[in-house]
Amino acid sequence: MMKFIIFAFIFLSICPLIAKASIQEPVFEMSSDESPLDLSGQWLFTNIDKEIFKDSELTTYKGWSMIYAPGGWPELNDKEHYKVGWYRAKIKFPESMIGQEVVLLLDSYISKVEVFMDGQRIFSRGEGQSSKPFYAIQPIPTKFKVTKNIHTLSIRINTILMRGVYQNPFQLRVSKPYDFKLFFTYMYTDHLKTFAGFLLLIFGVFFALLYYKTKIKIYLMASLLGLGTFPYFGFTHEVFFKAFNYNNILLLHYLGILSMALFSNYFCQYLYKPNKKSLLAFTAIQGGLALLFVSQVFYFNFELFLIIRKLCFISSFLIAGHSFYVFFKIHKNNHNQEVNTRYIFFAYFIYLSFALHDILLALGAFSSIGLLFFGNFILASAIIWYSIQHFTHIFFTNKKLVNNLQELTYKLESKVEKRTQELKKSQSQLVEMAHKAGMAEVATSVLHNLGNATNTLSTYTSKIMDIIKASPVSELNKLNSLVFDKYRSDFEKSVQSQPKLKTLPEAYNLLAQELQTDYKNLSQCCEQLDENVKKVSSIISYQKKYTGHNFKEEINIHNLIKDILDSHMVLIEKYQISTTVNIPDYLIVTTEKNKLFHALYNVIDNAIGALMNKTTAGNRLEITASEDSESVRICVKDNGVGIAKQDLKTIFYQGFTTKNQGTGLGLHVTYNSIKEIGGEIKVNSDGPHLGAEFQIILPK
């Protein structure tokens, strides 16, 4: 029994010594002052928080283990998650460096940090840093003087990220008055990020004002991206950590990551085909996570935060992946964009690569330097640059239109006096344009009233002719002869008593002749009037065929096209235009005749005009039509002067024209007419001198 007691006493006495011998502090040796010492590697680590761990010598290493730094924290001492971790190692210096000042670079990414050298605190960062640099995301520069060959370095980090020494650089450098590598490190990790954040903020406000003025959605997307991403870039600036609790800033800066993924997805879907279901789902996910981050500011829960943080990375990465897929479809389908978007496609690729890198870095898969901010900046810059290009494109297009309008105005002002006499012709042209713009029903009503009036006029003309034919004027001579012959003896007696009566028969004869002459002239005038009334009636009837009414009726497309081509036959023969019409005789469409007639008339007239302005030989006009179960498609194709690519999107705008004497109303009216009858009109051209094709799609 005594032997057992002695053995147990000896065992318990040497056990701490065995434990201490089994775990030794790692040693990092700095060979010279010419190159920095990389501190990445195995470090003593514990999640037990005791102040004695700062001392240069420890009597026990119970609860300590070896971990790799930079890197994540493992599960220790039956704790899966914890906030405080201690690092310890020894630094060995050569004799030549004793007395020199060195700088420890330590990146702990927004956390409380204390650094001890041989038990003495040489740096502290935590609450109440309003008068000291916080070094939020860049490496903390901690200076100390080398006083002996071996120093014990202890680091205490209080963080909610489960990752103390977060990323590279983690090294010792000799302190120099000018150190370009150190300057570059701070430029990348702090100054460049701050610059990017406030640049995005400025552009966000700028595009918000543009959207307010123009209501163009692309500017709204750019504004949301700039303003929404600012927290990720800007909140890590020194000024916020001097004014607010550092943990709250850490929580809120994740809003920028959520916004970047969401609003960049808005942007790319707007350029392609917005999918309301996916947009709603992504908004709900990112918005819900954002609310959870904000709630953590007021009611912080450590375990919940770690879950939200992982979900933030995963959802943002998946949404960014979806955005990349959408851009892939944009370029695969050769979507025509006003501004080239290829560089955004590559920016998304870089962003996804860097995002994957930083997700693995945050999860402790390896040690490296953070790249997500740089990927974010590249993508945000690409989207902002696209928006700027879009703005400049519209600006210079409008400027060109304004210049053209001003030039046209100057020409009009110089010709006002010369063209005063042409006012009536201009008035008739305006009446015709108003007719094409949808006023055919007015003309129809007028023609109808005129037709009623001519019918009435024709009726009264017939009555007048009947009255004239029934007039007894032709019988005056007979009556005169009968009267004077029958009563001649009495008349001669009267003449003897009144000699003046002798001229009475002659006067009666003259009066009869005058009345007969007037009767004849009146008959001829009535006949001419009747003939002209009938001509006016036939003209009105012909015009009614083309004015039509504002109600739907069945229209034979083949006959309608034939009438339009017949009206252009003089120009077709003059310019030797070869016309090909491939339209089935039975093709019928039910719509408003007047609007369809004028729309097709304008398109064919425009095609003939393009052939008239062509300088090469071989004018061809091809008109085809086909149908399916729901619609009829009419194609008018020519090999004329063609249309420039940049004009395809504005060709139907009011006032847009490429003709010297054009008004810019014809195709605009055509577009409106087709829309009013429920149809659709499209235009395509391979460019100048390569012809053009107009397609009119009508519901059956």
| Residues 6 or more apart in contact with residue 70 via CB below 8 angstroms | 40, 107, 163, 165, 166, 167, 168, 170, 367
Could you read off the pLDDT of 299-323 as tens digits, one per residue? 999 999 999 999 998 999 899 888 8
pLDDT confidence band for 255 (50 / 70 / 90) = very high
Residue 296 has pLDDT above 90, yes or no: yes
Q: Do domains 24-177 and 552-699 have the same CATH topology?
A: no
In sequence order, what DSSP letters do the residues of 318-341 get, joined into one string?
A: HHHHHHHHHHHHHHHTT---SS--
Amino acid identity for residue 540 in this structure:
I
Percent of the chain with pLDDT over 90: 27
Taking every pair of Cα atoms in the chain, the longest distance, rounded to a whole number of angstroms, is 203
* CA-to-CA dists, residue 696 to 1, 337, 487, angstroms: 110, 23, 89
Distance CA(54)–CA(143), nearest Å, equals 17
Q: Does domain 24-177 have CATH number 3.40.50.2300?
A: no
pLDDT confidence band for 470 (50 / 70 / 90) = low
Q: What angle do CA 339, 340, 343 make, to 5 degrees?
A: 135
* CA-to-CA dists, residue 649 to 394, 397, 536, 622, 683, angstroms: 12, 11, 45, 23, 9
Does 561 or 538 have the greater pLDDT score? 561
- Segments making up each domain of the chain, as ranges: 24-177, 187-394, 424-547, 552-699
* CA-to-CA dists, residue 202 to 198, 207, 223, 450, angstroms: 6, 9, 9, 67
Task: Determine the pLDDT at residue 254.
Answer: 92
667 sits in which H/E element: helix 666-676
Q: What are phi and psi for residue 397, nearest 5 degrees? A: -65, -45
The dihedral of CA 532, 536, 541, 543: what is its sign? positive
Structure tokens at 279: 């947009």
Q: What are phi and psi for residue 427, nearest 5 degrees? A: -65, -40
Residue 621 has pLDDT above 60, yes or no: yes
Residue 445 has pLDDT above 90, yes or no: no
Q: Check: CB of residue 148 under 8 Å from CB of residue 78.
A: no
Task: Determine the pLDDT at residue 335.
Answer: 53
Structure tokens at 484: 């004077």
Q: Check: CB of residue 123 under 8 Å from CB of residue 113.
A: yes
Does 46 or 16 have the greater pLDDT score? 46
Could you read off the pLDDT of 495-526 as tens digits, one per residue? 666 776 666 666 667 766 777 777 777 777 77
Q: Which range among 209-218, 270-279, 481-490 shows the weakest confidence by mean pLDDT?
A: 481-490
Q: What are phi and psi for residue 610, nearest 5 degrees? A: -65, -35
Q: Which segment, 19-23, 234-238, 278-282, 654-658, is predicted with the most confidence on average?
A: 278-282
| Residues 6 or more apart in contact with residue 674 via CB below 8 angstroms | 595, 599, 680, 681, 696, 698
Amino acid identity for residue 102 in this structure:
V
pLDDT confidence band for 480 (50 / 70 / 90) = low
Helices (H), 333-363: 342-362
Distance CA(279)–CA(322), nearest Å, equals 11
For the chain, what is the mean pLDDT? 80
Q: Return the number of other C-beta atoms located less than 10 Å from residue 118's C-beta.
A: 17
Distance CA(181)–CA(551), nearest Å, equals 80
Residue 85 has pLDDT above 90, yes or no: yes
Beta bridge partners of 361: none
Stated pTM of the model = 0.53
594 sits in which H/E element: helix 593-612
> Can you tell me whether residue 169 is helix, strand or coil?
strand
In sequence order, what DSSP letters do the residues of 598-661 get, joined into one string?
A: HHHHHHHHHHHHHHHT--SS-EEEEEEEEE-SSEEEEEEEE-SS---GGGTTTTTSTT---STT
Length of the chain: 700
Task: Determine the pLDDT at residue 9.
Answer: 46
Q: Which range among 247-251, 450-454, 466-470, 581-585 shows the weakest confidence by mean pLDDT?
A: 450-454
pLDDT confidence band for 292 (50 / 70 / 90) = very high
Helices (H), 253-275: 254-271
Distance CA(110)–CA(310), nearest Å, equals 17
Please provide the CATH number assigned to the domain covering 552-699.
Answer: 3.30.565.10
Question: How many CA atoms are closer than 13 Å to the CA of 270, on its beta-carbon side?
Answer: 16
Q: Check: CB of residue 681 under 8 Å from CB of residue 694.
A: yes
Distance CA(186)–CA(183), nearest Å, equals 5
Structure tokens at 205: 């406000």
116 sits in which H/E element: strand 112-117
Task: Determine the pLDDT at residue 542.
Answer: 40
**Average pLDDT of span 195-199:** 86
